[in-house]
Structure 1
């Protein structure tokens, strides 16, 4: 385990000008569609809406600092891509690992932050978002990368390329502190749970269930 040094690589992530026609259409549709009177509050997560081009881990570090959160990122020799792998590496409870999951709710991008020992109740999430169950789907890896700028297995809850709605599994409230991916398959950061959720304007909700 080691502290990840700030990246000096100037590699450029995908810019909004290179979004696919499908993704551009998704955003246009979102602007045209009248807002439903749902229980979900739209995130005002402006801190990383227009971050300059930078490496994924550095984008996470910058977003954390902008949100007033500790910005130390920890890297491991092995992978932390799954919740269990991350918990084993960190030495914490499985539930303390935040899974950052990307959904499309009738085309509307939504991020769900879920405890590592829980699974999403898609019916509950769809109801919260005001869409039918069949209108809710998990984003494909290419869609996740296009929207967040992160590869699956390293998606952080901060530093996305575009501004999402954010729903938070209320079971994460069991823990004072949690760990989340930091933009790479072997990088994580620690945060005070309620500070993180407040900083990203997440909506607490009962959206998970215990694994079968």
Structure 2
């Protein structure tokens, strides 16, 4: 596993550091040899449970970006999420919408490092793991974190999203 850098990874590392993330975890950012664009692929590459993968999913909530950090073990209930955020409609965002909101491509969207902070929900299911893994800004990059750290660095709201 490489520690090669990329502009998006640098932005994510800077945002994690500025947000008070544990430096020892930030230093464990990894660039894997193959893209890990699904929770199952990331879990297999890291040798962890699929539930430990914090999927960064961007939704279109009445035209505004909404980031949902969810456990890789289940799917987001968009009706439930719409009720949680007071939106009429929450739907999966297009690749163009995701890139405009995050500066990152689907499959590598990190919880942080975006051009502007995004309204964020953090799946309470992630709390049951001592360590979770999130994307690092590109489809090959991942980093370890904790549920509490994800809530803190994103300014996110804990929520039951499935």
Which TM bucket (shorter chain)?
over 0.9
Aligned residue for 1:42? none
How do residues 80-119 of structure 1 correspond to structure 2 at under 5 angstroms? 80-119=36-75
Contact 2:19 / 2:152 at 8 angstroms: preserved in 1? no
For residue 154 of structure 1, the aligned residue among 105, 108, 115 is 108
Any unmatched runs of 5+ in structure 2?
none
List structure 1 segments (4+ residues) > 4 angstroms apart after TM superposition: none
Q: Does 1:56 align with 2:8?
A: yes
Larger Rg: 1
Contact 2:136 / 2:143 at 8 angstroms: preserved in 1? yes
Q: Distance in 2 between matches of 1:169 and 1:193?
A: 9
Aligned residue for 2:94? 140
Aligned residue for 2:17? 65
Structure 1 residue 199: Cα displacement: 2.4
RMSD: 1.2
For residue 201 of structure 1, the aligned residue among 139, 155, 161 is 155
Contact 2:51 / 2:71 at 8 angstroms: preserved in 1? yes
Aligned residue for 2:129? 175
Task: Return the TM-score normalized by structure 1.
Answer: 0.71
Q: Distance in 2 between matches of 1:131 and 1:67?
A: 28
Q: Does 1:187 align with 2:141?
A: yes
Q: Distance in 2 between matches of 1:5 and 1:105?
A: 35
Contact 1:145 / 1:152 at 8 angstroms: preserved in 2? yes
Task: Return the TM-score normalized by structure 2.
Answer: 0.92
Q: Distance in 2 between matches of 1:68 and 1:143?
A: 28
Contact 1:176 / 1:194 at 8 angstroms: preserved in 2? no
Q: Distance in 2 between matches of 1:6 and 1:68?
A: 21
Structure 1 residue 192: Cα displacement: 2.1
Count of residue pairs brought into register by the alignment? 158
